[in-house]
Amino acid sequence: MYYSLKKRGNNVLRFVLINYKSHLKLSFAVTFLVLISILAIIAPFLPINEPTKTDMFNTNAPPSHEHWFGTDENGMDIFSRTINAARYDLIIAITAVLIGSTIGIILGAIAGYVGGLFENIIERFAEMIQGFPYILFGMLIYMMIGGGIAALIIVIMVYNLPFYAKLVRSEIKSLKNIPFVQAAICAGTKPYMIVFKHLIPNALPTIFGQFPLSAASAIRFVAALSFLGLGIPPPTPEWGSMIQLGANSIIFGKWWISGFPGLTLFFVVWALNSLGVSLQAYIKKEN
């Protein structure tokens, strides 16, 4: 019964299209996101410089005809690196948030419906995980299993899980008393069917607006950790590490090394946040 998800998808699309004209900020945010996602996907096929190709004769060069965004201290093309970094940042963030939230939603829904001991256990685990600040948690994992993409995904997943579990659990608790759920019980529907067929689809719309916000957080997290040297190691392009690389050069006037990745990161996070906030407002209005 994937009616529900399809319908939600249509609504999001319709929402974006209808509001395209009336909300300039939102349309800009969405356009930007779409653009950068497309660029991220086709990046390897673009006729631009290789992101990891060094050029020791052209280090720290300002933006020029050959290197649109300039080069960094290793002579690597910043433009191409910025775009390729999008692949990593976006994919890691979105994948991790999706997996983490899905598991969280399922666990939270079951906890909300079944209650009792199961709910208590989930609650305790959630509290334990949420007790850690995001970055500290990342550092801890780094110390335990090292850095790299897998570690980042794990951290983001684990961090989002309790958040969505709690969000969904409270939704479910209020949905439980709505007559159609009680009708389903009277129909002899098994509990897991009630959770997946009735409760989760009706809880999803209200938490839909959260996804872009979580993605924004996740991207900031990846960038921050990489900035600290704990995330994606160079020479793999990543906005955070690129910013870190160019940090020392700023006082020498070489703004482009940190500047471009920094700006891109800023806009991506801003765009995701705007989308999330608008979605939340739209959903609230619909209700």
Q: Summarize as ranges the residues that interact with other proteins (CB under 8 A).
A: 1, 3-4, 7, 178-180, 182-189, 197-198, 201-202
* Rounded Cα gap, residues 143 and 137, in angstroms: 10
Q: What amino acid occupies position 59? A: T
Q: Which is nearer to other proteins, 143 or 185 (CB)?
A: 185
- Shortest Cβ 210–other proteins spacing (Å): 20
Q: Could you give the CA distance from residue 262 to residue 16 in angstroms, rounded to a whole number?
A: 27
DSSP code of residue 75: -
| Distance of closest approach, residue 184 Cβ to other proteins, in angstroms | 7
Residue 33 to residue 272: CA distance in whole angstroms: 8
Q: Which is nearer to other proteins, 7 or 25 (CB)?
A: 7
Instruction: Pick the closer one to other proteins by CB: 55 or 176.
Output: 176
DSSP letter at 44 equals G
Q: How far is the CB of 171 from other proteins (least distance, A)?
A: 15
Nearest distance in Å: CB 2, other proteins: 10
Q: Closer to other proteins at the Cβ: 158 or 184?
A: 184
Helix (H, G, I), strand (E, B) or coil at 77: strand
Q: Which is nearer to other proteins, 184 or 250 (CB)?
A: 184
**In the complex, minimum distance from the CB of residue 181 to other proteins, in angstroms, rounded to a whole number:** 8
Contact 237, 202 (CB under 8 A): no
Which residue number, 87 or 198, has a Cβ lying nearer to other proteins?
A: 198
Angle between helices 210-227 and 256-286 (to 10 degrees): 160
Shortest Cβ 198–other proteins spacing (Å): 5
User: How far are the Cα atoms of 151, 159, 222 from residue 154, in angstroms, in the given order?
Assistant: 5, 8, 12
